[in-house]
Structure 1
C-alpha cells in the first residue's frame, strides 16, 4: 500500500525534489515485564522453555530497550527519508530501538530524487560514508559532531546551523506522525509493527497530498 501511494504521488506530479532528509524516530511499544533470566533468554533470540503458548503470544521478543537523552525507551525505531520540497515520506525502514541510525542510512537513499543533496543530523557522520557518497555523486550535508576531547570548530558550527534549517523539515513529518499515533504501536512483533508503521506513513502521505493540492502548491 505504501508503494501504491508513492505511485499516486507520481501520478499527481509530486516527484521527489530538492534533495532528501534522512532521520529516525523512536516508536514506543508495550513494555514487557520479564524476569531477569527470561530477559537474558530473549536477548539471545529465543523464548524461555517455561513459556506456554498463550504466554508466548503475548510477548514481544523483537522490541528492545535503548537510551536517548538519558531516558530509557522500549520499542522500535522508524527510519525515514523525506523529500525536502514537499515533506513527503519516500522511503522507510523499521528496526528495533537498539539499532543504530547509521545502520540503514544507505538503504533509505532515494535515487529518484531530482537533487543529489542529502541532509542528516549529528547521528550520521562518518568519513568513510561521506567519501563513498561523494564518489557516487551525492552532495552530502551531514552535521558535524564533537567528541569528549575535541569539540567542533567555529566553521563547523556555522555549517551545522546552515544544515539545521532544511533538516528540521523532517521533524515536522515525525510530529505529524505522532499526532496520528505514529510514535506508538500496540501490536507485538516487528512484522506487525512494520505493517502498522507503513500504513501510517502511507496515510500521512495521502493527507499531505490533499494539503498540497488544496493549498495550490504546484508539483514542480
Structure 2
C-alpha cells in the first residue's frame, strides 16, 4: 500500500528494488558478533539499520530527528522495513549501530559492495576510462577554542609576546589556510569516474598535503592498465608522474609553470583539455556539499568522519543510479525489473 502511494518514480522505491540487500546482509553479519551469549533485547536487523543509515546520510538528520522521521514518515518506514505500529530504533540504537560500523571499518566495504552491484546492473562501467582525483575541505563539527597564554598583564602587553594555544573537542581536526580563509577540519580525497560515480575515497586531517598523499590515493584506488588519471596542477611533480607510469596509468595531471619556465603552447592545450574533464569531480563535491549537506562533519574524530564520508558517497552514487533507471510494471505489482534510461 505504501509503495503504491509512493509510486515507481520515487527515488527510494527505485533504490529499494535496485539493490540486493542480502549481499549487504552478509557483510553486516559481523556487526553484532559476540564471543559468548549475552542476555538482553534482540538487536534490530542489521540490513534494516543499514537502510536507516542511508536515510540519515541522504537527508542529513541527527539521531533524534532520524528516530522521529521513522515514526512519522511513511516513505522512511517502508524503505527501512518497518510497519506502522512497529517499534523503531531510538536515537541511542542508531548511534550505537553507526559506531559499530565505524569500529569494524564496514562503511568502506559497504561502499565497495554498492559499486559492485551497480556495475553488475551496467549502471557503472566495470573498467572506467578515467579516474579524476581531487580533495575538498570538510569543516569539523567542533569549533576550536582559542586561549592566549600567558595572559598579558594590564599595561604590560608589550613585555612578553603571548602565544596562542588552540584546543578542540575534535582531536583529529587540523587547521588549513586556503587563500584568505582558514579552515578547521578534515580533507576528503575523492576519485570519480567519467560518469561522476564515486569510485574511491579517503579522509585525512585538513593539513595533509595533497601532493604527497597522491601516491596513497593512486595505490589504494580501483584501477586497471590504460586508465587515465586526472588531477590539478597541485600534483604536478615528477614523482607523481613516475608513479602513474609505474602503475601503467595514463598521465592526466595538469602542468604547472615554474620560475623562468612558462608553460609551452602544448602544455596550455593539455591543461585546457584536462580542465574540461576535471569539472566532473567538482560536480561530485557540489552534490556532497549541497544536496547531501556535507560541508561540515556531524561527528568528532577521523574514523567517524571517514565513515560519514563513505555513507555520503553511497548516497551520491544512489542518487545518480536512481536518475538513470526506471522500474517496469509486470502484472499487478511494482516489481524490480529495471531499464536503464539511455537519454541520461
TM-score (norm 1): 0.82
Secondary structure at 1:35 match in 2: strand
Aligned to 1:54: none
Aligned to 2:213: 104
Q: How does 1:6-155 map to 2 (within 5 A)?
A: 6-13=115-122, 14=124, 15-29=126-140, 30-36=142-148, 59-84=169-194, 86-109=195-218, 110-113=221-224, 115-148=226-259, 150-155=261-266
Unpaired runs of 5+ residues, structure 1, are 43-57
| In 1: Cα distance, 2:261 partner to 2:143 partner | 38
In the alignment, structure 1 residue 176 sits paired with structure 2 residue 301: no
| In 2: Cα distance, 1:16 partner to 1:212 partner | 19
Unpaired runs of 5+ residues, structure 2, are 1-109, 150-162, 327-339
TM-score (norm 2): 0.54
RMSD: 2.5
Q: Of 109, 112, 115, which aligns to 1:3?
A: 112
| In 1: Cα distance, 2:184 partner to 2:324 partner | 35
Secondary structure at 2:137 match in 1: strand
Indicate if the aligned counterparts of 2:215 and 2:243 stay in contact, CA closer than 8 A. no
Deviations 1:24-74 (A, max 9, x none): 0111113211325697586xxxxxxxxxxxxxxx71111011011221111
Deviation at 1:134, TM superposition (A): 1.6
Computing the radius of gyration from Cα coordinates, the structure with the larger value is 2
Indicate if the aligned counterparts of 1:83 and 1:113 stay in contact, CA closer than 8 A. no
Aligned to 2:303: 191
Aligned residues: 203
Asked which structure has the greater RCO (Cα within 8 Å, sep 6+), the reply is 1
